[in-house]
Structure 1
Amino acid sequence: MNIKVLIEIVNKGQFIRPILNYVAHYLESDRPDKNKNIVNYINVLKLKWDVKYDEALEIIDEELQRLKKGGLYYLFLDQKVHILNRIKQKEGVKKVFDELKDNFDNIPVYVRGLVVETLRNIHELYYEPDESMEKIRYWSENYEQNPVDKGFILLSKAREKKNEERYEEAVSLNIEAFKILKTVPHPSGMVQALNNISWWLKNTKKEKALVFIFPLGFYLGYYFDDDNLKVFNSLDTMFQVQKNNNDPLVYETAFIFSRCLSQLNKVESEPIKNTFKDIINQLKCFVFNLDNNQHRSTPKLRDFIRKEIGKEKIPIDSINISESALKEFLFEETQYIQPSTLRNIIDALEFEITTSTPICIIKELKKKDIDKKFEINLEKFKNLPKERQISELFTSYLAHYYKEEIDLKKIIKEIEDDSLTEERCDYYTKELINSIFERNPKIDFNSLLTNVQKPKIYTNKNITFNEHPFYLGRKEVVKRFMKDLNKKNLKEFIENYIDLDTRQKKTVEKFIMNYGRYYDLKVKDIPKEFTPKVPKEIDPLVKKYTLKRKPSTISFYVFEGDEREKFVEIIGKF
C-alpha cells in the first residue's frame, strides 16, 4: 500500500477508524507479509486511541528497529512522541522531538504535515520560545493548505496564546480551528477545540466558558461512543464549568458520566478512575434517580429548610402541610419525608439554587419541571399518528441513558391501545416524551465570541432543566437511522430489539449510532480499493430495512474482532 494514501486516510483522525479496520482487513487478506508494517501502524493508532499505551510502544519500538529511515519510520516515531507525552515521559518526549526536528529535512514531504503538527504542539508544551520555534513556525506555514494540518496548527497557535494568557486570541483561534476541522470532519480536533475554550476560561471567564459547553456536549454526543476517552475528558470539563456557574445541567452531566463509567469493565475503567478522580469522588453528591420514593431526613436538608423558613419569616400555616408534620421533620422525629411534603415546603419558599443545595431538593425541582412540560407535551404526543409516536419514542429512548428504567414494550402497547395516560407514566417515561419536543438550537459561533454573558442566578421559582446537549447530539444521529428504516418493518425491528439481552441491545445501539455518524462521510479521498463494500453478512439487513449502503457498511466496520462476529449473530434475529 502506498504510504501517501495511508496518510490521506489517517489524517482524518480517529473518526476514520472503521475505514482503517477495512484497510487492515484488506491488506491482511491480500499480501500479509508485505503489508505487515502498515497493519502494525494501523494497530498502533488503534491501541493509542484505546489508551493501551504499553502495547503500542512495544510495537513501535520493534518497528523502529526493523525499518529504514523513510516515511513509515517517521510515522511510527511521530506516534511514539504522542504516546510518551500522554504518559508524561518528559525525557523520552524531548529525545524523540529532537530526532524529528533535526531530521525534518530528511522526512518525506507527504509525512511532514503530520510531523510538523506534533513538533509545534510538543514545543508549546515543553519549551520556551526560541529560534527553533521560529523554524517550526516557518515549516508549519508550508503545510496549512491541508485542512487537517491547518486545523491542528491553529490549535497549536491557540495553546501558544493561552500560555501567554492572551485568552481572547486563544478562543478565536480555537473557533477557527473548529470550523476548519468540521469541514473534514475531524471530530477529535473539533471537540478538542471546544474543550480547550471551556477549560481555559473556566476560572477566568466562567460565564463565557459555559456558553461553549452546549456545542461541546452536542458534538461529543453526536460523534463519540460511550467508552471513548474523549467522552470522559469533555464531560469532566463540562461538569467543572457547569458547577462553577451553578448550571442546572451539571446534574445530568454527572449522571451521564456515571452511566458511561458503569458500562466499562474493570480494566477499561482503571485509567478513567485514575485520571478523573475529582469528578468521580463528587458523583454521589450530584447523581439522583427520578423515582417517587420518600427522601431521607438528613441534617443538611433540615438545616437548609430551617434556614430558609427563618430567613423569609414564613408563617407555618402558609405552608401547605400540617404543623405537626413540619415539626416532626424539622425536629428529627421522623427519618423520612414524602416527596409531596417536601415539594409543598419548597413551593412556599424562594431561594437561590447552588451546587450546595440538598440533592433531594434538586430532584423534586427536576420532577416538578418534568411535570410542567409533560402536561403540554403528552397532548402533543397523543396527537401524532401512532406509528410516529412509536418512532419518536424509540428515537428518544435510544438517545438517553434511561433504558434500564423504561419498560419499552409496555409503553408501546399502551400507545397502540390508546391507554397511555399521565398516571401510567413514571418520570423516566415523561422525560423521554418531553425530549421528543426539545429542539436543537442553531449554534452561531460568531455570536458566542461577541455576546457578553451575565451571571445567571437560578432560584426554585425560575429553574428549568433543559435537554442536555449530549442527548441532542445523540438524537440527531439516531434520527438518520430512523428516517431510512422501512416504516413497514418498524414494529418488527423494535420487537426484535426488545427481545435482545442487554449486551446485545448495546451492540445494536452502537450500529444505529454509527450509521447516523457516518451518514455524510465523504469517501472521495479514499482509493476505490479501500472503500468498503456492503459485506454479505449485513446485506439482508440492509435490504429488508431499506438502509443506505454506505453508512451501514462503515458502521459495520466500527466493530472489531469478536464484537463483529457477535453483531452478525445478533442481526440474524432481525
Structure 2
Amino acid sequence: MNKKVPQVIDVLMKYGSFARPLVNWALSNDKLNSAWKEYFKAIRYDWQKEYTLELKCIERGIRRCKDDRTVKYLLLSLELSVLQNLKKPEGDRLYIKLRREFHKVPKLARKTVATTLLSYSSLNMNETDLIKIRLWSQYYQNDRSTQVFILIGKARKKIKTGNTAEGIALYFKGLRIAKTIPHPTGIIEGLNDSAWYIRHRHPHWALRLANQAMYWVGWYREDARRDFYVFDTFFEIQRIVSDQRLGETASLIASLQKHLPSGQGRGTREYYKETIQDCKYFIFDLKGSVYKNSDLLRNYL
C-alpha cells in the first residue's frame, strides 16, 4: 500500500466528496497499485451515480487486490452500497458475508465498512431478517465523521420501527456533530431525512428543514446532481403546504434532471421519473400567447 493512501482514506471518510481533489491526485500517482486505483475510480463513479461503471471497477479491483485486505473490504463495502442503491437482492448475501467477516477487516477499512453495514440494515426494505450490526467500541465513537453516520443509521432504524421522535432526535444529534467538522454529506442528509420523515405530521417544520438542506447544497456543491434527492424532498413538501415558490423549484428540477445519469438505481433519471413528470404541471410559459391568433386580434393590435 502506498504510504499516502491512509491519509487520503482519512480525508475521504472525514469530508466525503469534498475530498475529490485528493482522489484525483491519488489516481495520478504512478506508484499506486491497480487495486487501489480501481477503488478510487469506483468512488468517483459513485459520486456521479454511474453504478454500472462503478461495479466494473469494483470487480476489477477485487481481482487485483491479492493479499491487500484493506482495499478488498473497502471495495466490498462500496459494492454493498451500490447494491442497496440498485435495490438488488444480492446485497443481503454480501451484507451477511461482510458481517460474518467483520473481525477480519483491517483497521483502516473498519470505520467505512461499519457505517456501510449499519446504513444497509437501516435502509433495507426487504422482508428478510438480517442480523443487525452492533457498534459498541469507543473506537467508532471517537471519530466524529463515523459517529455522524452511525447516528444517521440509528435514526433510520428508530423511525422504521415507529419511533419517529427518537429518530429525529438522533438525526439532530448527528447534524450538530456534522456541522462542527464540517461534513457536507452528513449535514445535508441529516436535514433532508428529518424533513422527509416529518413532512406529513409537521409539514411547515419539514419545509424549514428542507429549505436549509437546499441552502447547504448550494453552499457546498458545484454539481447538484448527486443531491437531487434534496430537490425531490423540497418539491414534495412544498406541494403539501402549497408553498408559493413551488414553480421556482419545479423549474430548477426540470433544468437539473437533464444532467442526471440514465439507467436504474437511486439518483438516476428513471428513479425520479414521477417527480420530473409532476414538475411539468407547475411550469408556465409566460412568454407564449394565450389568445387565438385571429384576424380580429391582429387588426386590433
Q: TM-score per shorter chain, which class?
A: 0.7 to 0.9
Identity score, percent: 24
1:232-258 superposed Cα distances (whole Å, 9 cap, x missing partner)? 211111000010001112111111111
Structure 1 position 205, deviation (Å) = 2.4
1:260-309 superposed Cα distances (whole Å, 9 cap, x missing partner)? 224x3xx8356633111222112222123565x65459xxxxxxxxxxxx
Q: Residue in 1 aligned with 2:278?
A: 282
Please give the TM-score of this superposition, normalised by the length of structure 1.
0.47
C-alpha distance in structure 2 between counterparts of 1:129 and 1:4, whole Å: 36
C-alpha distance in structure 2 between counterparts of 1:254 and 1:268, whole Å: 19
Q: Residue in 2 aligned with 1:168?
A: 165
Classify 1:181/1:279 alpha carbon distance in 2 versus 1 (closer, same or farther; 3 Å). Answer: same
Q: Residue in 1 aligned with 2:72?
A: 73
C-alpha distance in structure 1 between counterparts of 2:158 and 2:214, whole Å: 25
Contact 1:226 1:260 in 2 (8 A): no
Q: Residue in 1 aligned with 2:84?
A: 85
Which among 204, 209, 212 is matched to residue 207 of structure 1? 204
Contact 1:251 1:287 in 2 (8 A): yes
Q: Residue in 2 aligned with 1:37?
A: 35
Matched, 1:193 2:190: yes
Q: Residue in 2 aligned with 1:120?
A: 118
Q: Residue in 2 aligned with 1:4?
A: 6
Please give the TM-score of this superposition, normalised by the length of structure 2.
0.86
Q: Residue in 2 aligned with 1:18?
A: 21
Q: Residue in 2 aligned with 1:255?
A: 251
- SS of 2:162's partner is coil
Contact 1:15 1:188 in 2 (8 A): no
C-alpha distance in structure 2 between counterparts of 1:173 and 1:45, whole Å: 28
C-alpha distance in structure 2 between counterparts of 1:254 and 1:261, whole Å: 10
- SS of 2:269's partner is helix
The 10-residue stretch of structure 1 (106-115 or 120-129) with the greater mean CA deviation from structure 2: 120-129
C-alpha distance in structure 2 between counterparts of 1:131 and 1:57, whole Å: 23
Q: In structure 2, give the amino acid aligned to 1:268.
A: P
Contact 2:225 2:256 in 1 (8 A): no
Q: Residue in 1 aligned with 2:238?
A: 242
C-alpha distance in structure 2 between counterparts of 1:81 and 1:70, whole Å: 16
1:144-181 superposed Cα distances (whole Å, 9 cap, x missing partner)? 21111000001001101111222222222112212212
Q: In structure 2, give the amino acid aligned to 1:145.
A: N
Contact 1:48 1:56 in 2 (8 A): yes
Larger-gyration structure (1/2): 1
Q: In structure 1, give the amino acid aligned to 2:179.
A: K
Structure 1 position 78, deviation (Å) = 0.7
Runs of at least 5 residues in structure 1 that lack an aligned partner in the other structure: 298-333, 336-574
> What are the equivalent positions in structure 2 for 1:281-430 lying under 5 Å apart?
281-289=277-285, 291=287, 294-295=289-290
Structure 1 position 128, deviation (Å) = 8.2
Contact 2:35 2:62 in 1 (8 A): no
Q: In structure 2, give the amino acid aligned to 1:86.
A: N
Aligned residues: 286
Classify 1:270/1:124 alpha carbon distance in 2 versus 1 (closer, same or farther; 3 Å). Answer: closer
